[in-house]
């Protein structure tokens, strides 16, 4: 019986040891898609329909877009409420932060979130929420961006940053 218990413990530890490297390898590939698509500081904001900068590229621009649901600008009808990952490859200095908004019109009254240039990208928006001007949070960021604007870091509250 003692040999059986020892053998079971060894098998259990071996199985645990095999599970840890697989998990670590999986974690190390997180962001690999965004890493591979990083263009350097080309002055643009980008958004993709799927996590890790995968799926449909919804838009690329150096400018602002007050309504991703209209047919004007780089993000057009059908791009609203679809982004699951975003990238800030803007140039450093001045208005180098991208503020994404819960509604069209770029209003922090309805909710916003910010992506700093040093963060480069947010590869999975499911763990982020929009922040309102009054400090309350509203809906999840994933699949809910309707507009964006370039701002300075001072325009973003401390708890409004994408992670």
12 has pLDDT over 50: no
Whose structure tokens read 């922090």? Answer: 108
Q: Which positions ≥6 away from 96 have C-beta within 8 Å?
A: 88, 90, 116, 117, 150, 152, 153
Residue 161 lies in a domain: no
Judged on CB neighbours under 10 Å (0-12, 13-18, 19+), 18 is exposed
**Is residue 69 located within the same domain as residue 112?**
yes
Residue 160 lies in a domain: no
**Is residue 73 located within the same domain as residue 145?**
yes
**Is residue 24 located within the same domain as residue 83?**
no
Instruction: Give the separation between CA 129 and CA 138, rounded to whole angstroms.
Output: 6
pLDDT, tens digit (0-9, with 9 covering 90-100), for 46-83: 999 999 999 999 999 999 999 999 988 899 888 999 99
Whether the Cβ atoms of residue 84 and residue 132 lie closer than 8 Å to each other = no
**Is residue 81 located within the same domain as residue 20?**
no
**Is residue 136 located within the same domain as residue 120?**
yes
**Is residue 74 located within the same domain as residue 131?**
yes
**What's the predicted TM-score (pTM) here?**
0.80
**Is residue 53 located within the same domain as residue 128?**
yes
Judged on CB neighbours under 10 Å (0-12, 13-18, 19+), 157 is middle
**Is residue 93 located within the same domain as residue 113?**
yes
Residue 133 lies in a domain: yes
Q: What angle do CA 112, 69, 64 make, to 5 degrees?
A: 55
> What is the band of 8 on the pLDDT scale with cuts at 50, 70, 90?
very low
Domain that holds residue 85: 32-155
**Is residue 6 located within the same domain as residue 69?**
no
Structure-token pair, residue 34: 């965004």
Name the domain count of the chain: 2
CATH number at residue 129: 2.60.20.10
Q: Which positions ≥6 away from 98 have C-beta within 8 Å?
A: 45, 86, 88, 90, 114, 115, 148, 149, 150, 151
Q: Is 40 left (phi over 0), alpha (psi -120 to 50) or beta?
A: left
**Is residue 11 located within the same domain as residue 60?**
no
Task: State the first-to-last Cα distance of the chain, in angstroms, to the nearest integer.
Answer: 51
Residue 162 lies in a domain: no
pLDDT, tens digit (0-9, with 9 covering 90-100), for 105-162: 887 788 999 999 999 999 999 999 999 988 899 999 999 999 999 999 999 999 999 9
**Is residue 22 located within the same domain as residue 46?**
no
**Is residue 47 located within the same domain as residue 63?**
yes
């Amino acid at each position: 019986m003692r040999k059986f218990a020892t053998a079971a413990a060894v098998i259990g530890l071996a199985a645990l040891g095999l599970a840890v490297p697989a998990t670590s390898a999986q974690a190390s590939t997180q962001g690999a898609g965004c890493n591979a698509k990083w263009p350097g500081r080309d002055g643009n904001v980008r958004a993709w329909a799927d996590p890790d900068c995968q799926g449909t590229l919804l838009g690329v621009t150096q400018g602002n877009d007050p309504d991703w649901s209209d047919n004007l600008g780089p993000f057009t009808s059908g791009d609203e409420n679809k982004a699951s990952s975003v990238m800030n490859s803007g140039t450093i200095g001045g208005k180098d932060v991208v503020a994404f908004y819960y509604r069209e019109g770029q209003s922090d009254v309805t909710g916003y979130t910010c992506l700093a240039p040093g963060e480069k990208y947010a590869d999975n928006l499911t763990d982020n929420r929009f922040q309102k001007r009054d400090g309350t949070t509203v809906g999840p960021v994933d699949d809910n961006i309707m507009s964006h604007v370039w701002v300075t870091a001072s325009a973003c509250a401390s708890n409004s940053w994408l992670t």
